[in-house]
Structure formats: structure tokens, C-alpha cells
Amino acid sequence: MSTLKKMGTLGSLGLLVSGSLIFGSANAATAATCRTGLAAPSSTTFTGTLVTATNFEGNTLSPFTRSVSGTGTVAVTSPKAHSGTCSVRIRATDTSGSIAKMYVGLTAGTKRASADAWVNITTGGLAGNNVPYVRFFSGSTRVADVFRNNANGELWLRTANPNGTVSYARLQAASVPLNTWQHVRMQVRADGARSSIQVWFGTVQVFNRTVNLPSTTLSRVQFGAEHPRQMGDSYVDDVVIKRSAS
């Protein structure tokens, strides 16, 4: 496993991008043709209280909250899906103010949370930027996330440090191909210097380590980026999220 590296070494991964991708209205969900009644996904990788298990075949984002601005779009769509006929499409452009994300809140006092999901990044942004698979937050602080680096397709983990910097660990050197469904499983336990993170990509556990996070609780799990001009196009399906107070 690669050694964690400080922000100064790989800071270019967080730069804003330019380019042009345009997609239509966030109301495109009304056109989706879903397979009503398809069984919800399940996951045995992690323990905890179930927050949600959804394949979006009900043609709704619930219980996720959509947050978009500018040209950003988040909508249930078809026919691209990992199972059934529907998934959620998350798309942001390089246009000023473009934001596209969806998130589910966690009960107060949540110390441990996990996400098991299938994500298909169909279009990345420019070199120097990335497209997230999944992100974990404590309040307004993004404490941990896994992303695909646009420059070379490598898979990375980013974690927040108590001093305000961030650290990076390369999880996979081989390029993750675009337009392919990837099974991402991630668990974060927030407990200051005794925090821990586990990540599986496909069938392989690519990270399992104690880390030092600037928090002792978690507040939400998110797909998509919360800041503008994080250009990218991805689909999310078969999501299972769990949480625990321990």
C-alpha cells in the first residue's frame, strides 16, 4: 500500500478544471423508465444500522437530497444502470457555479459509516482534477473520499488532517477505465487519532489503516462534488449505506 503523502506533494490533484460539457435540465428524471418492484440491494461487507438500500427503480432520489447549481444536474435516469433500468446521473461542467451532488444525512452521534455502491464514471474532467466515487463529511469538513484522477485514471484516497492539510494514498496504479461499472465499498470510523478507514475496489481490499482525522463523528455520505467546476459525468446505482454510534 502506498504511503500517505502530504498535500504539497500532490496538491495539483485538487486544481479546478476547464473545458466544456453541457447537459440538460435536472428535471430529466421524469423521462426515466424504471423497473418498479425490483428488490433493493443488500450488503454484508459492513455492520451497522441501515440508513438506505436503494437501486433508484422507484424513480426517486429518496432518501438522498439533491443539491445543484448552475449547469449541474442530478437526476434518476434510464437505461444506463447496474441493475434494473435506472440509476442516478450526476453531472457538473466547467461553467462557473456548476455544482452537482447528492447526499444522505446521518443521525447525530454517528461515529462509523459505510457506503457500498456501484459507480460508473463515464466522463472525467481535465488533468489536474478528479471525479469522486464517494465522500464522507463531518459537518462542513470533508474527512475522507475516494476518487479517480483525471490525468492518469489512478484511484486515490484523500483524508483530512487535524492541522487543516490533506493526505493522499494511491489505491491503484492501474488506470480505472471510463464508462465501466465499479464496485466501491468504503467505511470510515471517526475517532480523532484513532480513526480508521477501509476501502474495497471490486473484490480487492485496497486500504485498511488507522488514520488521524479532525473529527469524532460523521454527518453525511455524498456522491458528487460540493464545490463548483468539478467537471465530470457519473452514474450511481445499488447503494447501501449503514451507520453506527461506535
* Residue 137 CA from chain centroid, whole number: 11
The pLDDT value given to residue 28? 40
User: CA 149, CA 153: separation in Å to the nearest integer?
Assistant: 5
User: CA 86, CA 58: separation in Å to the nearest integer?
Assistant: 9
* Residue 65 CA from chain centroid, whole number: 14
SS3 28: helix
Q: Residues 164-210: pLDDT tens digits?
A: 999 999 999 999 999 999 999 999 999 999 999 999 999 999 999 99
- Average pLDDT (218-223) is 98
User: CA 137, CA 24: separation in Å to the nearest integer?
Assistant: 29
Give yes or no for residue 22 having a pLDDT over 60: no
Contact 191, 185 (CB under 8 A): no
pLDDT band for position 23 (50/70/90)?
Answer: very low
Percent of the chain at pLDDT above 90?
Answer: 81
**Look-up of cell digits 479517480:** 148
pLDDT band for position 11 (50/70/90)?
Answer: very low
Domains along the chain? 49-244 (2.60.120.200)
Higher pLDDT pick, 128 / 224: 224
The pLDDT value given to residue 16? 31
Task: Please say whether the dihedral angle defined by the alpha carbons of residues 163, 165, 166 and 167, taken in this order, is positive or negative.
Answer: negative
Q: Which three cell numbers stand for residue 57?
A: 427503480
